[in-house]
Amino acid sequence: MNFDVEVKISLKKGMLSPEASTIEKALALLDYEVKNTQTLNIIKFTIDAENKEVASEQVDQMCQKLLCNPVIHDYEITISEE
């Protein structure tokens, strides 16, 4: 069975985000004033698994091993049937 997976990766609260502060500064140079800038990454893919639980377990392992750095990232997994 195929499942659509979406992994949302964000920096943990309190982590400094050089990417976000660069965006903020660059926008300020163009005279746009924005605050509380945050960036998130989303990785989407399709996975073949027996059922939703197995898929969820596998994706969690992928996050721990490769997709995220659990020390600095929070992640949120959404799985839906294709």
Q: Applying CB under 8 A, which residues contact a second copy?
A: 5, 20, 23-24, 26-27, 30, 32-48, 58, 61-62, 65-67
Residue 71 beta carbon to a second copy: minimum distance, rounded to whole angstroms: 19
CB closer to a second copy, 25 vs 72: 25
CB closer to a second copy, 57 vs 72: 57
Residue 22 beta carbon to a second copy: minimum distance, rounded to whole angstroms: 11
Query: Mapping DSSP to helix (H, G, I), strand (E, B) and coil, where does residue 5 land?
Result: strand
Residue 35 beta carbon to a second copy: minimum distance, rounded to whole angstroms: 5
Cβ(49)–Cβ(71) under 8 Å? no
d(CA 82, CA 79): 9
CB closer to a second copy, 19 vs 72: 19
Please provide the distance, in angstroms rounded to a whole number, between the alpha carbons at the two ends of the chain: 8
CA distances from 50 to 1, 3, 23, 35, 44 (A): 6, 10, 42, 44, 19
